[in-house]
Each structure stands twice: as structure tokens, then as C-alpha cells.
């Protein structure tokens, strides 16, 4: 994205995303995880677990990680059998090719039946993607609209952020609602259309409707 005030600089191959992906936007909520994944040589074991809310870009991070390192990514610890994770963990240690497991929660909250796998997972670093801050939320809203080939009127994303629930799921709901409203009404996404649409669908807090401040990013 052109504006980088809310983002943290990354090497081009990570910040650009893949051919079917939007850009990877990095802020305070995911910067530590991204930095760790960029330095595989420092890992104490050749496996890591990445947790975070769905819609937070964790799968995109996994795809970029696999492309950058040649390692394996298991996107969803419950998408494969425990035996497969166990063998993947052992293969990573033997070959040196890293393994990244993406999950909703850390291994301590998984219901792992295999004792050997449970003991191995206890030694695995857990990386966490937190809720989006103001800058990441603003930039993600703009990036999602850009992916849809839509332009926002100036100030729309900064208007939305202080008035919405701060979550990745809500960001995706807001973008989908405004996309549909814009197509239905044949209008661009302005602050007025944003206010009308999100208020009618209960996606912004009516008590904050007249709030004067906007999301500010360094």
C-alpha cells in the first residue's frame, strides 16, 4: 500500500503477498510473530505454532513463510491426524526444513492424545497475532477494498475505525457490507454511505456516531 504510516517495514517478498493475496500488513499486533518467522536459523526447535483470530492474515503469513523458507505449513492443527503432526515434527528436526502449525489456540489447549506428540509440542514456541490496532485496522480496510477494485473516499477508513468493534471479523463484515451497499445504490463509498450502511446494520456503535476524533497513526 502507498501509505505506510501504520505499517512496519518488511522485506519485499513478505510485504508484497502472493499472486492471489493482498499485501501483508504488519502492525503491533503481528510484528513479533513475523519477525520470529523471518529468522528460522535462531529457532530452538525446527517447529513453531502460530495462533490468532481467523481473518487475521495468519494463513497468508503461512504461505509467505513456506515460500520464503521451503518449510511445511499445517494450516489448522485439527485438519490432520495427530500422527501426521508427530511425523512432521520429527521430519523438521531431522531435515532442518522448518514446520509451522497454524491454530486457533496454543497446544496447551489442544486435546492431544499421543503422549510423544504432547511432550514435543510443549517445547514449541507459540507466536500470537493479537487484535488489530487503529493503524492496522485502517490499513486493512483500505487493502480489502483495493483487492475488490474499489476506491474509498478520503477519510472513510479513519472514520470507521474508532466507531467499530476492534476485531478482524468485524473488519471483514464492514467491508462486505459497504461493498454490497455501494453496488446496490450505485454510489462510491463515502463517509455518508458508510454511516448510513453501518448504522442500519448495527456494525458501528450508535453512541459513537457523532464522535469527532479519527484513527490517528504515526
Provide the 8-state DSSP code for 7.
S
pLDDT, tens only, 147-202: 899 889 999 999 999 999 989 999 999 999 999 999 999 999 999 999 999 999 99
For the entire predicted model, the pTM comes to 0.83
Q: Which residues contact 41 (CB under 8 A, 6 or more apart)?
A: none
Enter the CATH code of domain 12-128.
3.40.50.300
Enter the CATH code of domain 134-208.
1.10.8.60
Q: Which residues contact 156 (CB under 8 A, 6 or more apart)?
A: 141, 189, 190, 191, 194
Beta-carbon count within 10 A of 34 CB: 22
Q: Which three cell numbers mark 216?
A: 490517528
pLDDT, tens only, 85-118: 999 999 999 999 999 999 999 999 999 999 999 9
What's the rounded Cα separation, in Å, for the pair 99 and 46? 6
Query: What are the domain boundaries of the chain?
Result: 12-128, 134-208
Amino acid at each position: 500500500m502507498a501509505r505506510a504510516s501504520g505499517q512496519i517495514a518488511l522485506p519485499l517478498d513478505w510485504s508484497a503477498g502472493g499472486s492471489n493475496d493482498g499485501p501483508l500488513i504488519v502492525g503491533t499486533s503481528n510484528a513479533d510473530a513475523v519477525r520470529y518467522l523471518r529468522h528460522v536459523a535462531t529457532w530452538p526447535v525446527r517447529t513453531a505454532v502460530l495462533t490468532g483470530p481467523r481473518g487475521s492474515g495468519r494463513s497468508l503469513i503461512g504461505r509467505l513463510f513456506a515460500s520464503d523458507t521451503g518449510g511445511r505449513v499445517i494450516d489448522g492443527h485439527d485438519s490432520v491426524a495427530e500422527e501426521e503432526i508427530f511425523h512432521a515434527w520429527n521430519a523438521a528436526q531431522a531435515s532442518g526444513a522448518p514446520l509451522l502449525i497454524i491454530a486457533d489456540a496454543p497446544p496447551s489447549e489442544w486435546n492431544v492424545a499421543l503422549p510423544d506428540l504432547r511432550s514435543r509440542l510443549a517445547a514449541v514456541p507459540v507466536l500470537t497475532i493479537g487484535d488489530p490496532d487503529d493503524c492496522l485496522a485502517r490499513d486493512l480496510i483500505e487493502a480489502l477494498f483495493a483487492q475488490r477494485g474499489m476506491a474509498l473516499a478520503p477519510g472513510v477508513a479513519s472514520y470507521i475505525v474508532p466507531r467499530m468493534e476492534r476485531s478482524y471479523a468485524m473488519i471483514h463484515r464492514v467491508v462486505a457490507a459497504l461493498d454490497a451497499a455501494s453496488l446496490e445504490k450505485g454510489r462510491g463509498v463515502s463517509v455518508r454511505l458508510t454511516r448510513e450502511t453501518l448504522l442500519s446494520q448495527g456494525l458501528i456503535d450508535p453512541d459513537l456516531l457523532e464522535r469527532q476524533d479519527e484513527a490517528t497513526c504515526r
